[in-house]
Structure 1
Amino acid sequence: MPTTWFITGTSSGFGRLLTERLLARGDRVAATLRRPEALDDLRAEHGDRLWTAVLDVTDAAQAHRVVDDAFEALGTIDVVVNNAGYGVFASVEEAADEQIRRVIDTNLLGSIHVIRAALPHLRAQGRGRILQVSTAGGQATYPNFSYYHASKWGIEGFCETVAREIAPFGIGLTIIEPGATPTGFGSSLATAPVMPEYEDTPAGEVRRAITGGDFTLPNDPQKIAKAIIDLVDTGAAPLRLPLGSDAYDDVRASLVARLAEHEAHRDVAYSVVTDELA
Structure 2
Amino acid sequence: MAQRTWFITGSNSGFGRLMTEQLLERGDRVAATARDTAALDDLVERYGDRIWTAQLDVTDTTQIRSVVERAFAELGTIDVIVNNAGYGLFGAAEELTDEQIEHQLGTNLVGPIQILRSAVPHLREQGGGRIIQLSTYGGQATNPGASLYHASKWGVEGFMEANAKDLAPFGIGVTIVEPGSAATGFRVGGSRLPEPMAAYDGTPAAMSRGIQNPALPSVSDPAKVAAAIIATVDQSPAPLRLITGSDSFRIVRDALRERLADIEAQEASAATTNSARA
TM-score of the two chains, using structure 2 as the length reference: 0.96
Q: Which moved more, 1:181-190 or 1:193-202?
A: 193-202
Q: Aligned residue for 2:153? A: 152
Mind listing any 5+ residue stretches in structure 2 that lack a counterpart? none
Residue 221 of structure 1 deviates from its aligned partner by 0.3
Deviations 1:203-259 (A, max 9, x none): 224535x46667421111000001011111334411111111111110110000000
- Provide the residue aligned with 1:203 in structure 2: 205
Provide the residue aligned with 2:267 in structure 1: 266
Q: Which moved more, 1:215-224 or 1:171-180?
A: 215-224
Q: Is the 8 A contact 1:86 1:102 kept in 2?
A: no
Shift of 1:158: 0.5
How many angstroms apart in 1 are the aligned matches of 2:184 and 2:215?
17
Q: Report if aligned partners of 2:187, 2:212 keep a CA contact under 8 Å in 1.
A: no
Contact 1:14 1:83 in 2 (8 A): yes
- Output the aligned Cα RMSD: 1.4
Counterpart of 2:33 in structure 1: which amino acid? T
Give runs of aligned pairs for residues 1-278 of structure 1, distance below 5 A: 1-188=2-189, 189-208=191-210, 210=211, 215-277=216-278
TM-score norm. by structure 1 comes to 0.96
Structure 1: tracts of 5 or more residues without a match:
none
SS of 1:241 mapped into structure 2: strand
With over 3 angstroms needed to count, the CA separation of the structure-2 counterparts of 1:252 and 1:32, relative to structure 1, is same
SS of aligned partner of 2:32: strand
Secondary structure of 1:132's counterpart equals strand
For residues 137 and 40 of structure 1, do their structure 2 counterparts lie closer, same or farther at Cα, with a shift above 3 Å needed? same
Q: Secondary structure at the match of 2:132?
A: strand
Deviations 1:144-175 (A, max 9, x none): 11101000000001111111000000010000
Alignment deviations for residues 191-213 of structure 1 (CA, whole Å, 9 cap, x no partner)? 112222212221224535x4666
* Corresponding residue pairs, total: 276
- Which one is further off, 214-223 or 67-76? 214-223
